[in-house]
Amino acid sequence: MAHPFSQLAPSLDDIAQQGLYRSRRIIESPQGINLEIDGKNIVNFCSNDYLGLANHPDVLNAFKTGADRYGVGSGSAHLICGHSAAHHALEEELAAFTGRDRALLFSTGYMANIGVISALLGRGDAVFEDRLNHASLLDGGLLSGARFKRYAHADAADLSANLEKAPGNKLVVTDGVFSMDGDFAPLNELATAAKKQGAWLMVDDAHGLGVIGEYGGGIVEHYGLSQDDVPVLMGTLGKGFGTFGAFVAGSEVLIETLIQKARTYVYTTALPAAVAEATRASLKIVIAESWRRDKLKKLSERFRLGAEQLGLQVMASSSAIQPILIGDSQRAVDISNALLDAGFLVSAIRPPTVPQGSARLRVTFSALHEEQHVDRLLDALAKIIAGCK
């Protein structure tokens, strides 16, 4: 008999061979556009802290005041004794912000997605997912036990054809802004298709909330979609909001159902109340400071235009996520390493996070970047790509 787990070491070698090995970089500074790595200062182009709030003084202060009032640990799950006044106030503010009846906090976006889908669906039901959906949405669908169907990326016609044949409760699930491509889901069409077949539409707007829409209301604000159009709206707080955690917003019945049945809500410790206080401060900035969204848009467009002029393969993105398609995984890693040597942190995204043969550099912008940062990144890219040919 072979030794148990004897395949682990060879499998690691295999991953390395394919240029797919993953490792961490140790950051020695707060989050921001400048990071310290190995004692060296680099310019950060891979964070999801799009609005530059992760280290904002107001957010930091609210966190400290929150810790003074509530301590660090929340002591238990929300349903035992962990649901503080800070959590409750944040939920009410998020409901108002998204124009939904209620909102419910989860400890992470990953847990929210798994919890929601498996609370709403079971055997005999059906879930429909865009094939480029985030891993947590796919995992939630698989875990639910419902019939699982992927439809072609952003393709409402393909979705409709699949919806017609399905039994039971039907849930259509999509990213709002696709995390590795930066494009928007065609939500109007998806909402129409879902309604026509009596399905609910769930949108994960991790990369749109705070960032897209005049008031930062995300992809549903952009398309003007109500709770009736998008009955399940999920957002994360660790990206545009710069803090940590996630929430689901929707009807009274949806939220009460989740409180009873979402296992990742019921069986986990509430996130620290101080984090909720920090998020309340960050929500105020998100709403008030639209200059952050405007600037982000300008910077992203400047980069996109410059990259096109360099002959780089940009993708169909109008968000702060501007990927450069490379194809080969090892080449993407080599370019990312060369950029780091030149003082820029840009992550190489490889399969299985993206489809085979579509490795890319995922360049993201922050409202704290300036035009000169964009131009310097473009210069470095031009030199590296020329050197690689």
Q: Which is nearer to ligand PLP, 121 or 206 (CB)?
A: 206
Distances (CA, A) of 101 to 3, 205, 208, 218, 375: 56, 18, 20, 17, 44
Residue 56 assigned to a binding site: no
Which residues sit opposite 126 in a β-bridge?
Answer: 147, 170
Q: Which phi and psi angles does 336 have, rounded to 5°?
A: -60, -40
Nearest residue (beta carbon) to ligand PLP: 109
Q: Which is nearer to ligand PLP, 207 or 373 (CB)?
A: 207
Residue with tokens 């450069």: 324
Residue 245 assigned to a binding site: no
- Interface region with ligand PLP, contact rule CB under 6 A, candidates 64-72, 106-114, 190-198, 299-307: 106-114
Q: Which phi and psi angles does 320 have, rounded to 5°?
A: -80, 0
Rule CB under 6 A: say whether 365 interacts with ligand PLP: no
Q: Which of residues 242-261 bind ligand PLP (CB under 6 A)?
A: 246
Provide the token pair at 9: 């070491």
What single-letter DSSP state applies at residue 255? H
Residue 236 assigned to a binding site: yes
CA-CA distance, 73 to 33, in Å (whole number)? 30
Residue in 56, 170, 239, 369 annotated catalytic = 239
Quote the strand ranges of the chain, DSSP E.
34-37, 40-44, 102-106, 126-130, 147-151, 170-175, 200-204, 232-236, 246-250, 321-327, 344-345, 347-349, 359-364
Residue 11 assigned to a binding site: no
CA-CA distance, 179 to 184, in Å (whole number)? 10
Rule CB under 6 A: say whether 109 interacts with ligand PLP: yes
336 annotated active-site: no
Residue in 87, 207, 295, 369 annotated catalytic = 207
Cis peptide before 352 (omega within 30 of 0): yes
Q: Which of residues 46-75 bind ligand PLP (CB under 6 A)?
A: none
Rule CB under 6 A: say whether 110 interacts with ligand PLP: yes
Binding mask 193-212 for ligand PLP (x = CB under 6 A): -----------x-xx-----
Least Å distance, CB 131 to ligand PLP, is 14
Residue of 238, 242, 250, 306 that binds ligand PLP (CB under 6 A): 238
Residue 207 assigned to a binding site: yes
Least Å distance, CB 341 to ligand PLP, is 28
Evaluated on CA atoms 294, 296, 298, 304, the torsion sign reads: negative
239 annotated active-site: yes
CB atoms near residue 81 (< 10 Å): 11
Rule CB under 6 A: say whether 268 interacts with ligand PLP: no
Least Å distance, CB 50 to ligand PLP, is 12
Residue in 84, 179, 336, 366 annotated catalytic = 179
- Interface region with ligand PLP, contact rule CB under 6 A, candidates 17-25, 102-110, 214-222, 377-385: 102-110
Which residues sit opposite 178 in a β-bridge?
Answer: none
Distances (CA, A) of 164 to 168, 194, 198, 383: 11, 10, 10, 52
207 annotated active-site: yes
What single-letter DSSP state applies at residue 270? P
Least Å distance, CB 4 to ligand PLP, is 31
Three-state secondary structure call for residue 150? strand
Binding site for substrate, residues?
Answer: 22, 134, 353
Q: State the residues that interact with ligand PLP by CB under 6 A.
A: 108-110, 113, 134, 136, 175, 179, 204, 206-207, 236, 238, 246
Binding site residues for pyridoxal 5'-phosphate, as ranges?
A: 109-110, 179, 207, 236
> Would you list which residues are annotated within the binding site?
22, 109-110, 134, 179, 207, 236, 353
Q: Among all residues, which ones are annotated catalytic?
A: 179, 207, 239
